[in-house]
Amino acid sequence: MTTATTATFPGLTAGTWAIDTVHSNVGFTVRHLMVSKVRGTFEGFSGAVTVAEDGTAGVTAEIAVDTINTKNTDRDAHIKSADFFDAEQFPVAKFVSTGVRADGNDYIVDGDFTLHGVTKPVELALEFNGVNPGMGQGPVAGFEATTVINRKDFGITIDMPLDGGGTVVGDKITITLDIEVAHQA
């Protein structure tokens, strides 16, 4: 369930705006071997922005964690395993907004993020890219958002120490969302 919020998005009319998965991307980065980053995406996700008559908005989203793609099938299989996501037991990550507030020309979306069976509050730094009439299928709107989470806060506590110090996988995960939503008639 979404909660009423305090900030509004100019041009975003009342109703449900569903995520267009063809024109959206859910990605992440994580430190690897202490010196580089692994980048990945999730191919399966859905969600919506619901706008009330007063212009306030709420956001809900789900990610199928077993759709992870880091361009390495062995690594993806390991991330899906009980060592990391335990995708069999916890197949979906969820986000439900609890508020939206202005942050200069941008926004902060507060919400509850559930991953690996653990729910924690997170803040998404959000850039609203505006509304466009679309291409004959109705209006669309665009957003870019980022947040940083600590995987250990969500019970993903595997440590893979390196001989010289440090770990194979970092604790901080940067999640990046490039989202296009379409107004549902």
The tens place of each residue's pLDDT in the chain, 185 residues long, gives 444 446 788 888 999 999 999 999 999 999 776 667 899 999 999 999 999 998 889 999 999 999 999 999 999 999 999 999 999 999 999 999 999 999 999 999 999 999 999 999 999 999 999 999 888 888 999 999 999 999 999 998 888 766 776 666 778 999 999 999 999 96
**CB 178: neighbour CB atoms within 10 A?**
14
Q: Which fold has domain 15-183?
A: Lipocalin (2.40.128)
The sign one gets for the Cα dihedral 96, 42, 156, 92 is: positive
Question: Rounded distance, CA 107 to CA 88, Å?
Answer: 35
The residues spanned by each domain of the chain are 15-183
C-beta separation of 110 from 100 below 8 A:
yes
Please name the amino acid found at residue 130: G
